């Protein structure tokens, strides 16, 4: 069974995310490649967060939320979002990509990609909780890409 795949030309899975994608550097989103989208997918959603932030700030830090990505999208180019997709609010209090910014030590950042059987009816600036609640019972497949980043 072939399942949804998310990769990047900028870093290997579980590899080091280049400096320019950091919040305090150029803060560009890294290029992402999407393949093996399952049949019946109506849209894709992406959540990037930092579970290692729990120790430093007491919660999983949300860095990027993107939804209603077209099911035929093969790539999210560096420093861009696909046409018609919508971005949510990060824990930086901003809409759009907020790159890695570990306050203490190396953290692992997780890009989670979801294949959905619907488009989400949410406003720009919605939160991770809004997205997760809307995706319930609509996830066909999911995958993840992990990268490490140190201060």
Residue predicted with more confidence, 2 or 14: 14
Per-residue pLDDT reduced to its tens digit, 33-92: 999 999 999 999 999 999 999 999 999 999 999 999 999 999 999 999 999 999 999 999
Domains of the chain with CATH codes? 5-149 (3.90.280.10)
Q: What confidence score (pLDDT) does residue 1 get?
A: 61
For all residues of the chain together, what is the average pLDDT?
97
Q: What would the DSSP string read from start to end of 54-122?
A: HHHHSSPEEEEEEEEEETT--EE-TT---TT-EE-B-TTS-BS------SSS-EEEEEEEEEESS----
Q: What are phi and psi of 61, to 5 degrees?
A: -85, 125
- Verdict on whether the full-model pTM lies above 0.95: yes
Q: What confidence score (pLDDT) does residue 73 get?
A: 97
Q: What confidence score (pLDDT) does residue 98 get?
A: 98
* Cα–Cα distance measured from residue 116 to residue 44, given in angstroms and rounded to the nearest whole number: 6
């Amino acid at each position: 069974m072939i399942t949804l795949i998310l990769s990047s030309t900028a870093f290997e899975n579980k590899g080091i995310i280049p400096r320019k994608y950091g919040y305090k550097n150029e803060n560009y989103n890294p290029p992402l490649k999407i393949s093996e989208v399952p049949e019946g997918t109506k849209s894709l959603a992406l959540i990037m967060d930092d579970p290692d932030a729990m120790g430093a700030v007491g919660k999983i830090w949300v860095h990027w939320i993107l939804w209603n990505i077209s099911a035929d999208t093969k790539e999210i180019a560096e420093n861009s979002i696909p046409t018609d997709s919508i971005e949510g609010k990060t824990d930086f209090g901003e809409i759009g990509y907020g790159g890695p910014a570990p306050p203490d030590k190396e953290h692992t950042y997780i890009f989670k990609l979801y294949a959905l059987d619907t488009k989400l009816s949410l406003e720009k600036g919605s939160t991770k909780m809004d997205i997760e609640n809307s995706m319930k019972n609509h996830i066909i497949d999911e995958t993840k890409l992990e990268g490490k980043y140190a201060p």
